[in-house]
Amino acid sequence: MSVLQDISAALQRGRMPKVKELVTQALEQGESPKAILEDGLLAGMSVIGEKFKNNEVFVPEVLVAARAMNAGTALLKAKLQEEGVAAKGKAVIGTVKGDLHDIGKNLVKLMLEGKGLEVIDLGVDVSPEKFVEAVNEQGAQLVCCSALLTTTMGEMKHVVEALEKAGVRDKVKVMVGGAPITQSFCDAIGADAYTPDAASAADKALEFVTA
Ligand code: B1M
């Protein structure tokens, strides 16, 4: 196996120290940071994403894989910036106002990053105004809203309305998700996409920024 395949395999097993060791080794061997990112780290994360979608692995495995990915990416970050490897697109993500659940939102963030997108995480209890402010400040193409409560899911409509009011609705795609969200809810509030899980959210996000 090549060192890049080793990185992918170690990441899938969530072995953070091994991933760090292998990324360092790959750099010493002259592998390009871009290849290490795409054929090592992102390749491994994409396998995890598919398995998660198919219920072959679960939240803990995704979290340890993501932790390993973050450690590997951190070693590459400065070199990638030197090489000028641009992110494929930019997203802002947050759990909507009144809602403090963030496990699913964090998974979506990790999966988006796993697809090479830059993600600005606004955290939890994010007001519509804060989403708008982030879009204006960050120039994001995607607005990703998560909600876990039937009492807070209506905030997603307010996000869409706030983007309209601010005159930036046509500049972004609004993606929604979380346990109570459905496709018909997405359609009713005028969002652009509902996805049921983090892996399909990442697929859709990539589709939007590369369309
Ligand atoms: Co809360 N809680 N909780 N809770 N909690 C639920 C959601 C609940 C269903 C439990 C229940 O009653 N059976 C219920 C909601 C009922 C309803 O609204 N119909 C509930 C309640 C009522 C509450 C409180 C009101 C309880 C109280 O205080 N009386 C309170 C509300 C606090 C608040 O937010 N203001 C509350 C508090 C909490 C904790 C703080 C204790 C904790 C959250 C910790 C945290 O997130 N840091 C918590 C937890 C852990 C849960 C359960 C048990 C698990 C949620 C979770 O993390 N799941 C949950 C019951 C359950 O779901 N079984 C429950 C794992 C996570 C990976 O899944 O977030 O669905 P999920 O994300 C998925 C998809 O939905 C999707 O991708 C993810 C993975 O693939 N997804 C997206 C998510 N966001 C997406 C965005 C996308 C696309 C896909 O595009 C942008």
For the chain, the straight-line distance linking the first and the last C-alpha, in angstroms and rounded, comes to 34
Kindly report, residue by residue over 158-193, the tens digit of the pLDDT: 999 999 999 999 999 999 999 999 999 999 999 999
pTM of the complete model: 0.85
For the chain, where do the domains classified as CATH 1.10.1240.10 start and end? Answer: 3-83
Ligand 1 binding pocket includes 68 (Cβ within 6 Å): no
pLDDT score recorded for residue 97? 98
Element (H, E) at 95: strand 90-95
Q: Is the confidence at residue 84, as pLDDT, over 60?
A: no
If we measure between CA atoms, which residue out of 118, 111, 80 comes closest to residue 177?
Answer: 111
Helix (H, G, I), strand (E, B) or coil at 176: strand
Q: What is the CATH number of domain 3-83?
A: 1.10.1240.10
Ligand 1 binding pocket includes 186 (Cβ within 6 Å): no
Ligand 1 binding pocket includes 123 (Cβ within 6 Å): no
Q: How confident is the model at residue 96 (pLDDT cuts 50, 70, 90)?
A: very high
Average pLDDT over residues 129-152: 98
CATH 3.30.70.2860 corresponds to the domain 90-210: no
**Long-range contacts formed by 159-166: CB under 8 A, 24+ apart:** 159/96, 159/128, 159/131, 160/189, 160/190, 160/191, 161/128, 162/128, 162/129, 162/131, 162/132, 163/128, 163/131, 163/132, 163/135, 166/132, 166/135, 166/136
pLDDT score recorded for residue 85? 67
Which of 101, 108, 160 for a ligand 1 pocket mutation test, highest count of atoms within 8 Å of Cβ? Answer: 101
pLDDT score recorded for residue 74? 85
Lowest model confidence (mean pLDDT) among 29-33, 109-113, 139-143, 182-186:
109-113
For the chain, where do the domains classified as CATH 3.40.50.280 start and end? Answer: 90-210
